[in-house]
Amino acid sequence: MEAIIKNVNDIDVFYDKDRDVLYISFGKVREADDSELTSDDLVVRYRKGKIIGVTVLEFSKRISSKKLETAKVPATA
């Protein structure tokens, strides 16, 4: 599977600090109709067989705390 991104502005990123989850959506944020949990705790979200996003569980364990504090990840709802 692949995700086709026509414009970098079509990537939406949201970090939920309380749940320690990073959400990355490709294109307009929309509900998935299928998903797959990978062996490294990533959830790949699909809609009509195409990847529409990735959810990174336990994100803070994957990045140093200093980088996490200084990261400028735009929050969207």
- Residue-wise pLDDT tens for the chain (77 aa)? 556 667 777 899 999 999 999 999 998 888 999 999 999 999 999 999 999 999 999 998 888 666 656 665 555 44
Three-class secondary structure of residue 10 per DSSP: helix
66 domain residue, yes or no: yes
At 77 the pLDDT is 45
77 domain residue, yes or no: no
19 domain residue, yes or no: yes
3 domain residue, yes or no: no
2 domain residue, yes or no: no
49 domain residue, yes or no: yes
- The torsion angles phi and psi of 62, rounded to 5 degrees, stand at -100, -5
Query: How many Å apart are CA 18 and CA 33, to the nearest integer?
Result: 25
Count the domains in the chain.
1
Domain interval for residue 40: 8-70
At 9 the pLDDT is 77
Query: How many Å apart are CA 12 and CA 9, to the nearest integer?
Result: 8
Strand-pairing partners, residue 23, are 14, 55
Six-digit token pair at 57?
Answer: 């569980």
Cβ neighbours, 10 Å, residue 53: 22
Read off the pTM.
Answer: 0.73
